[in-house]
């Protein structure tokens, strides 16, 4: 399928210098600006800001409760934002969390983990691990049924969610599902999409390279499963997965390969590749209209899997 015309218009805007910036400060500012521009018509939800204990200090988080939710515990989603581990926060992904909360009926906890380069890898993984332990332990107080707690995220945050699902398989707590949106899962970066969409499609090879450099990986094997969940030795015994990829996305093949591997390992998986779409299109609903129904469909999938 050809590139969606709204996505093409957005990419043309970037090409004219309206969004992307090369350094970390510019990348963070651009993502915040993009979130304000794109998140139009956000779904209503009751929100409450939280402070979670983290290995490097307090972590900011936000609880989303569906409008009109009953007092009884519901399924829950622990969500991690994208941004290459160097950008993104609670506000940049507020619209996504609101949409997923509304469509799924789940209570969502979004976590702002520590970012590089101020906090080198694996700070983000450590924070994600700590936040999962805290949410699982405090699930009843959050109105979440701990037996129906899913983990999920966008882009780099999806990689965190995938890694948590792998670790939880060995050490707990039990995870009901993993929701991976345009996931970045392979630090080695193989796959045709890495070459086909290396530039000109929003997330590009140069940005990924800068993000990797900012992580301070000195001496770390890029195939380390904490950075490359796709490279884990075994994917058997993982929770059911909902994976959404985009046709014109440099990391499309990360999600496709992960879906194939976990299916081969006997894990239930729902994989949708959105034709004509680009990385993060689901967060661009104000600019790329297809993003809104995609998030609604993802939320419905989550509701069906976690019950």
CATH number at residue 49: 3.40.50.1820
Active-site position among 94, 249, 253, 254:
249
Q: Where are the alpha helices (DSSP H) in 248-290?
A: 252-264
Q: Could you report the per-residue pLDDT of 21-36, keeping only the tens digit for each?
A: 578 998 899 899 888 7
Q: Work out the pLDDT band at 16, boundaries 50, 70, 90.
A: confident
What's the maximum distance between 2 C-alpha atoms anywhere in the chain? Answer: 50
Active-site position among 110, 131, 155, 193:
155
Q: How far is CA 161 from the centre of its chain?
A: 7
Residue 93: name the closest of 181, 216, 225, 192 by CA. 181
**pLDDT recorded at residue 40:** 62
Q: Could you report the per-residue pLDDT of 233-265, keeping only the tens digit for each?
A: 999 999 999 999 999 999 999 999 999 999 999
Other Cβ atoms within 10 Å of 166 Cβ, number? 21
Span 68-90, mean pLDDT? 94
**pLDDT recorded at residue 268:** 98
The H-or-E segment that residue 130 falls in is helix 123-137
Q: How far is CA 22 from the centre of its chain?
A: 22
Q: Work out the pLDDT band at 160, boundaries 50, 70, 90.
A: very high
Q: In total, how many domains does the chain have?
A: 1
- Please report how the helices 291-306 and 94-104 are oriented relative to each other, as an axis angle in degrees rounded to 10: 50
Enter the tokens of residue 152.
């999920």
249 annotated active-site:
yes
135: domain range?
A: 5-306
Active-site position among 6, 81, 93, 279:
279
237 secondary structure, DSSP code? T
Q: How far apart are CA 216 and CA 201, in angstroms?
A: 26
């Amino acid at each position: 399928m050809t590139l969606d015309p709204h996505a093409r218009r957005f990419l043309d805007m970037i090409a004219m210098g309206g969004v992307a910036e090369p350094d970390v400060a510019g990348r963070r500012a651009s993502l915040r600006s993009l979130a304000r521009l794109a998140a139009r018509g956000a779904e209503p939800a009751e929100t409450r800001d939280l402070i979670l204990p983290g290995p490097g200090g307090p972590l900011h988080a936000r609880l989303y409760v569906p409008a009109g939710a009953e007092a009884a515990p519901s399924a829950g989603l622990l969500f991690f934002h994208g941004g290459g581990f160097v950008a993104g926060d609670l506000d940049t992904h507020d619209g996504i969390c609101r949409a997923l909360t509304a469509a799924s009926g789940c209570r969502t906890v979004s976590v702002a983990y520590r970012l590089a380069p101020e906090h080198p890898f694996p700070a983000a993984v450590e924070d994600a691990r700590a936040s999962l332990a805290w949410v699982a332990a405090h699930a009843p107080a959050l109105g979440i049924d701990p037996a129906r707690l899913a983990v999920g995220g966008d882009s780099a945050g999806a990689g965190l969610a995938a890694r948590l699902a792998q670790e939880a398989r060995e050490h707990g707590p039990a995870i009901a599902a993993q929701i991976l949106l345009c996931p970045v899962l392979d630090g080695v970066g193989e796959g045709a999409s890495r070459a086909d969409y290396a530039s000109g499609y929003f997330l590009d090879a140069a940005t990924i390279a800068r993000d990797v450099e900012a992580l301070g990986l000195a001496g770390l094997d890029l195939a380390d499963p904490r950075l490359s969940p796709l490279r884990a030795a075994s994917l058997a015994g993982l929770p059911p997965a909902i994976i959404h990829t985009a046709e014109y996305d440099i990391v499309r093949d990360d999600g496709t390969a992960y879906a194939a591997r976990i299916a081969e390992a006997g894990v239930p998986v729902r994989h949708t590749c959105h034709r004509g779409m680009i990385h993060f299109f689901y967060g661009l609903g104000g600019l790329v209209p297809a993003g809104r129904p995609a998030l609604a469909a993802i939320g419905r999938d989550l509701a069906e899997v976690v019950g």
